[in-house]
């Protein structure tokens, strides 16, 4: 690879680059969330290194590059045409010289920067104008070296199994890489930026869906009343059955925000959030669960974070309580114990409706939550990934922290507990549509598989299937291996049943009401 050159922005920051970037665009990009930029899609790198599926299956948002966008998150860096903040390049120690091929050097750099080091890597159409399309040439040895250096050995073995144990070339490459390399556990991380003060007068709507947890909801409302930057509006959608609710509780106190209360007549947390979204008026929407505690700077730090990074959505830091009686003092102790591990930003790889902040215009653009997930799991990830697929840089925000109490009773999962029942006593779940479950319980969750078939290719879903059964067979105790082997035919029936429902949901398409 050629020597990187330097570009100095108007703010005095140094950007390193290879190739011929548009410097006016680079100047503008330096003001945003990105740490590194490229135009690799047009240069032959779009969806390069598809073998990553053998490690991540369908559990990495950025496995596939997104289509028809002028800018989006992508770790697939072209070594001959990219730009990077000099401070980031030095923190991450540049390209890894263990690889001889600059293409795999760049892919390894981009992947680790995004997935492990808290960097934001962006594809930007037209930043580099070169029309040359590279031929991507990654050898089997490079593949196995990448896997062994970055993942547990079992993932490299699984790739060898999927490529063919009988192929001599694959075996030689595996053992050669295994002989010379080991997994690198320690990865450098990019320090968060210093947050700017809030600019202007943004308004915030806070959404709380709740069910049979009025005491926890009142506790959260008090935390919201104590905010240093309070919401202008709190929209509360309560699905507590009429015979179990106290309608006077929410009116018993005055709050420094407009409290909008709606008693939910429909079923499901996705429907609840969509009904709340329709009532929101703020510039930003903060999504929260009913069983969390939040410190006084929670909302302020969400807005400061999004404004500092110049992006439209972020996912906060969710800390699990040891028990539901813990409070904000316990949260502070947990954060102290977490130490420097807390401070990782970058492109988020998950999304939580318990703690997230999104510009309302973007929420409306993706048309809210997909109610096909009601009665199951996976709606959070679907919502976050849907934002990424329209070009939003969804970031992880370690400054806005909540304590998640997770009480044993109440909440929207109450409706979903029937999913564990089979036979005539079972109450149908929303995802069963017109085909009720009988005596074969679908496993894994049909809504989890629905998220996979919705966002990933059939081949990738099939690779998930292979890995699912591979892990089922070989990850358990050796003494019960024969039992697991005999159970495989029934597990296949369960998987097929789950996939049946997932495909029916996909055929329906996204629904919001």
- Do 427 and 371 sit in the same domain of this protein? no
Q: What's the confidence (pLDDT) of residue 131?
A: 63
How many Å apart are CA 279 and CA 273, to the nearest integer? Answer: 10
Q: What's the confidence (pLDDT) of residue 348?
A: 95
Number of domains making up the chain: 3
Given 145, 180, 215, the domain boundary residue is 180
Is 426 within a domain?
Answer: yes
Is 91 within a domain?
Answer: yes
Is 22 within a domain?
Answer: yes
The token duo for 47 is: 């969806």
Q: What's the confidence (pLDDT) of residue 2?
A: 59
Q: What's the confidence (pLDDT) of residue 502?
A: 97
Q: In what order do the strands lie in the sheet with 71-73?
A: 5-8, 14-18, 82-85, 36-38, 121-124, 71-73
- Do 344 and 294 sit in the same domain of this protein? yes
Q: What's the confidence (pLDDT) of residue 221?
A: 95
- Do 211 and 139 sit in the same domain of this protein? no
- Do 213 and 109 sit in the same domain of this protein? no
Q: For every one of its 513 residues, what pLDDT tens digit does the chain have, with 9 covering 90 and above?
A: 558 999 999 999 999 999 999 999 999 999 999 999 999 999 999 999 999 999 998 999 999 999 999 999 999 999 999 999 999 999 999 999 889 899 999 999 999 999 999 999 999 999 998 767 888 999 999 999 999 999 999 999 999 999 999 999 999 999 999 999 999 888 999 999 999 999 999 999 999 999 888 889 999 999 999 999 999 999 999 988 888 888 888 886 789 999 999 998 888 889 999 999 999 999 999 999 999 999 999 999 999 999 999 999 999 999 999 999 999 999 999 999 999 999 999 999 999 999 999 999 999 999 999 999 998 889 999 999 999 999 999 999 999 999 999 877 656 555 556 556 666 667 788 898 989 898 898 999 999 999 999 999 999 999 999 999 999 998 888 899 999 999 999 999 999 999 999 999 999 999 988
Is 411 within a domain?
Answer: no
Q: How many residues does the chain have?
A: 513
Is 188 within a domain?
Answer: no
How many Å apart are CA 392 and CA 390, to the nearest integer? Answer: 6
Is 190 within a domain?
Answer: no
Is 356 within a domain?
Answer: yes
Phi and psi angles of residue 318, each rounded to the nearest 5 degrees, phi first? -100, 115
Range of the domain at 23: 5-180
Is 496 within a domain?
Answer: yes
User: Measured at the alpha carbon of residue 22, what is the angle toward residues 20 and 23, in degrees to the nearest 5?
Assistant: 105
Number of neighbouring beta carbons within 10 Å of residue 72: 21
- Do 232 and 324 sit in the same domain of this protein? yes
Q: What's the confidence (pLDDT) of residue 410?
A: 59
User: Measured at the alpha carbon of residue 219, what is the angle toward residues 213 and 220, in degrees to the nearest 5?
Assistant: 90
Global pTM reads 0.93
- Asked if residue 204 lies in contact with residue 284, where contact means CB atoms within 8 angstroms, the answer is yes
């Amino acid at each position: 690879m050629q020597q990187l050159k330097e570009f100095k922005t108007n703010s005095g920051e140094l950007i390193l680059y290879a190739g011929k970037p548009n410097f006016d665009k680079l100047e503008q990009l330096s003001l945003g969330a990105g740490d590194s930029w490229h135009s690799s899609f047009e240069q032959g790198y779009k969806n390069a290194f598809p073998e990553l599926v053998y490690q991540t299956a369908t559990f990495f948002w950025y496995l596939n590059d997104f289509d028809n966008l002028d800018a989006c998150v992508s770790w697939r860096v072209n070594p001959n045409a990219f730009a990077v903040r000099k401070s980031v390049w030095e923190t991450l120690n540049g390209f890894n010289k263990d690889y001889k091929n600059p293409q795999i050097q760049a892919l390894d750099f981009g992947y680790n920067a995004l997935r492990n080091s808290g960097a934001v890597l962006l594809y930007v159409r037209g930043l580099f104008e070169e029309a040359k399309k590279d031929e991507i040439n990654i050898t089997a040895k490079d593949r196995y070296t990448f896997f062994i250096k970055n993942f547990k050995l079992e993932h490299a073995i699984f790739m060898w199994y999927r490529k063919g144990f009988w192929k001599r070339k694959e075996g030689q490459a595996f053992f050669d890489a295994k002989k010379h390399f080991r997994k690198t556990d320690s990865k450098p991380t990019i320090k968060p930026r210093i947050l700017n003060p809030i600019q202007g007068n943004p308004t915030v709507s806070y959404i709380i869906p709740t069910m049979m947890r009025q005491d926890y909801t009142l506790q959260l409302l008090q935390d919201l009343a104590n905010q240093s930057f309070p919401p202008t509006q709190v929209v509360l959608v309560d699905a507590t059955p009429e015979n179990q609710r106290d309608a006077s509780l929410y009116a018993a106190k005055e709050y420094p925000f407009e409290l909008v209360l709606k008693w939910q007549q429909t079923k499901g947390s996705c429907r609840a959030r969509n009904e709340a979204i329709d009532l929101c008026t703020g510039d930003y929407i903060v999504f929260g669960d009913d069983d969390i505690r939040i410190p006084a700077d929670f909302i302020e730090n969400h807005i400061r974070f999004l404004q500092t990074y110049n992006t439209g959505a972020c996912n906060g830091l969710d800390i699990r309580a040891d028990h539901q009686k813990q409070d904000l003092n316990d949260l502070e102790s947990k954060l102290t114990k977490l130490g420097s591990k807390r401070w990782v930003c970058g492109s988020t790889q998950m999304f939580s409706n318990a703690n997230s902040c999104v510009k309302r215009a973007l929420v409306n653009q993706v048309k809210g939550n997909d109610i096909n997930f009601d009665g199951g799991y996976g709606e959070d990830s679907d919502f976050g990934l849907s934002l990424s697929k329209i070009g939003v840089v969804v970031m992880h925000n370690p400054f806005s922290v909540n304590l998640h109490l997770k009480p044993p009773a109440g909440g929207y999962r109450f409706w979903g507990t029937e999913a564990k029942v089979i036979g005539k006593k079972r109450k149908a779940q929303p995802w069963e549509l017109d085909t009720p479950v009988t005596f074969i319980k679908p496993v894994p969750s049909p809504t989890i598989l629905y998220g996979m078939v919705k966002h990933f290719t059939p081949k990738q879903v099939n690779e998930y299937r292979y890995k699912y059964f591979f892990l089922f067979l070989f990850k358990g105790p050796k003494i019960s291996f024969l039992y697991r082997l005999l159970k495989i035919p029934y597990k296949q029936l369960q998987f097929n049943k789950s996939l049946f429902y997932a495909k029916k949901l996909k055929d329906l398409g996204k629904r919001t009401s």
